[in-house]
Copies of this chain bind each other. A is one copy, B any other.
Amino acid sequence: MVLATAAAALCAYIAPAAAGSGIPEVKAYLNGVDAHSILAPSTLFVKIFGSIFGVAAGFVVGKEGPMVHTGACVASLLGQGGSRKYRLTWKWLRYFKNDRDRRDLITCGAAAGVAAAFRAPVGGVLFALEEAASWWRSALLWRTFFTTAVVAVVLRGFMVFCRGGKCGLFGEGGLIMFDVNSAKPTYSVPDLLAVIFLGVIGGIFGSLYNYLVDKVLRTYSIINERGPSLKVLLVITISLLTSCCSYGLPWLSRCIPCPAHLEDQCPTVGRTGNYKNFQCPPHHYNDLASLFMNTNDDAIRNLFSSGSVKEFQLSTLIVFFAAIYFLGIITYGIAVPSGLFIPVILAGASYGRLLGNLLGSLSDLDVGFFALLGAASFLGGTMRMTVSLCVILLELTNDLLMLPLVMLVLLISKTVADCFNKGVYDQIVKMKGLPYMEAHAEPYMRHLVASDVVSGPLVTFSGVEKVGNILHALKITRHNGFPVINEPPFSDAPELCGLVLRSHLLVLLKGKKFARQRVMTGTEMMSRFKAHDFAKAGSGKGVKLEDIDIKEDEMEMYVDLHPITNTSPYTVVETMSLAKAAVLFREVGLRHLLVVPKTPGRPPIVGILTRHDFMMEHILGLYPHFNPHK
């Protein structure tokens, strides 16, 4: 409880953004959503220590999600040139000060997190590809590959250094965490049918898991909103409940005599291991305690172990499965960094082993292998990944010959679960209200055109604008982009010059290079700025409106916006199908899309589309009679 309280206090008082898995937030960031303090140094600190405390406290949580988030935070810190607040800055890092490089770095960080958590370098690359990243280029592929190769080499170096238990539990199992290579690779038609059955049921359980996690999260968010002390109280409650289960439930199981001819010690007392004594007479073990009172890794290893059909009783597996399934659901969402992988793998493995025991007469497959397939089916059912999960499981278990069956189970459970709801990370992204752009346009968008969803008053600037007007516009709106319109005498008729960003305007105003006349002073003015003055600052950094102090007489002066205007903004005609505009917005990775009029003789711009204008909530707010699925 002390550890749980420490984790909760860190989370509740220092960095609330560090609670939960972190994968949904990283996913949203890579989609273009700059949520506040998601990747801040304080979040990084709390994520690391909160995760250690949370896992050590015995919660049914994993370290994988937090490690992905940790990797992303470290990458973000590098991407914004270190932290000025904590006096950790490097000059050469300024080359990464742009959206694209920062996004690439964070993708690599997420891949490194998975690679380190599962000791699965290729799995990490594929996770970053399949789940995390929204845009993919071949350069990014080999950058993540390089990152995870370095992770693998460093991990192995530490393992060699830590050989012989010098570093506690670190490095246990070597590079392959749950080696099941001994299972024999034969299967026949009844086995295949059993596996398909397992996949279908696993898919149903997986989607039910998502449904319940969503409900619990909504309930918790009501509690969590009432203040940090209630957050801590909730964590303590769940901690008590978990402890009750871990220490109370093993009393339900009876003692089993140790099997003869074991390499392992039996019973194990005072250390992590396969056979826990737990109040049993000597040379007996309690099988339920062997699962509950172990590290999660060892519990998974026990469930995956082959050639030990009788090790766990049927009732043990049922109790353990039910307990872990529901503890996993009620634990996610409390103010502790908590990964979803381990609870899902644990629940899935016990479900698979249970089913393997039940179907023992029908199928020749080893129960340990059934446990692996059960874990695959739960993972497929909740997370809906395919290739990356398959490779991660392969790298976890070194079981290449069973690959076709694992692939089959993943596909079946994903397909079954997709009938009911979305993947768990997508659900969380949606629940948190992050404006995530899907890769495809929604069907109802086909019935609308771009100008239908343009909203809000449009604020435009002249090519050479009065300082007062700019300051006023920056104050009264929260827009991040403003169209610039050239008017006579700079052009024959009003015409669209381009788009100027709020952050660049702020830098320009701070520089105070104004002119008294309405003239173009571009080149002369820009010689007073350096290129990296306009580089993208870290989130929450950069010039703020409050930093700018403009005097009364400067308000009436003019500033030339041409040098900082993007003169090639992407545009669509107002009659463009909204679905096509959404594809353009998403595929090219835009933040602003200008809508221009179709017929001449009108102002040269109709409006700006941003990410929020494509969200279903916005569109259904404007057109409530629309059926979102048609």
Contacts and interface: CB of A to CB of B under 8 A. Distances in A.
A125 B122 CA distance: 13
Interface string A399-411: 0110110011001
Interface in A105-148: 121-122, 125-126, 129-130, 136-138, 141-142, 145-146, 148
Given A175-B401, A386-B142, A400-B176, A121 B407 contact: yes
Given A138-B130, A175-B401, A584-B588, A411 B156 contact: no
Interface string A156-196: 10000000000000000011100000000100000000000
A411 B142 contact: yes
Interface string A580-619: 1001100110000000001111000000000000000000
B568 A401 contact: no
Given A149-B408, A568-B576, A600-B601, A176 B401 contact: yes
Interface stretch (A216-224, A290-298, A390-398): A390-398
A543 interface: no
Contacts of A576: 568
Interface string A554-578: 0000000000000110111101110
B390 A391 contact: no
Contacts of A495: 598-599
Nearest to A583: B588
B125 A387 contact: yes
Given A152-B403, A408-B149, A568-B580, A387 B587 contact: no
A493 B439 CA distance: 37
Contacts of A568: 449, 575-577, 580
Interface in A421-455: 439-440, 449
B152 A407 contact: yes
A174 B185 CA distance: 11
Contacts of A466: none
Interface in A356-410: 386-387, 390-391, 394-395, 398, 400-401, 403-404, 407-408
A524 interface: no
Interface residues of A, number: 62
Contact of A404 (B130, B149, B575): B149
Contacts of A504: none
Contacts of A231: none
Nearest to A440: B137
Contacts of A411: 142, 145-146, 149
B152 A404 contact: yes
A313 to B, nearest CB: 33
Contacts of A601: 600
A138 B404 contact: no
A606 to B, nearest CB: 14
Interface in A455-469: none
Given A153-B404, A588-B583, A600-B601, A414 B142 contact: yes
Contacts of A572: 570-571
B137 A439 contact: yes
B404 A121 contact: yes
A574 B371 CA distance: 61
Contacts of A264: none
A138 B423 CA distance: 13
Nearest to A568: B577
A547 interface: no
Interface string A329-366: 00000000000000000000000000000000000000
Among A148, A400, A571, A598, residue most surrounded by chain B Cβ atoms (within 10 Å): A400
Contacts of A407: 121-122, 145, 148-149, 152
A492 interface: yes
Contacts of A439: 137-138
Nearest to A144: B387
Among A137, A404, A573, residue most surrounded by chain B Cβ atoms (within 10 Å): A404
A503 to B, nearest CB: 20
Given A145-B387, A149-B407, A568-B576, 17 more contacts: A121-B403, A122-B407, A130-B138, A137-B439, A137-B440, A142-B414, A145-B411, A152-B403, A175-B400, A394-B400, A495-B599, A567-B575, A568-B575, A568-B577, A570-B580, A571-B571, A584-B584
13 contacts: A122-B403, A122-B407, A126-B126, A141-B386, A152-B407, A391-B391, A395-B400, A395-B403, A398-B400, A495-B599, A571-B572, A584-B588, A588-B588
Q: List 8 tightest A-B contacts by C-beta distance, closest first.
A: A600-B600, A152-B404, A149-B407, A568-B577, A587-B587, A142-B386, A145-B386, A568-B576
Interface of A: 121-122, 125-126, 129-130, 136-138, 141-142, 145-146, 148-149, 152-153, 156, 174-176, 185, 386-387, 390-391, 394-395, 398, 400-401, 403-404, 407-408, 411, 414, 439-440, 449, 492-493, 495-496, 567-568, 570-573, 575-577, 580, 583-584, 587-588, 598-601
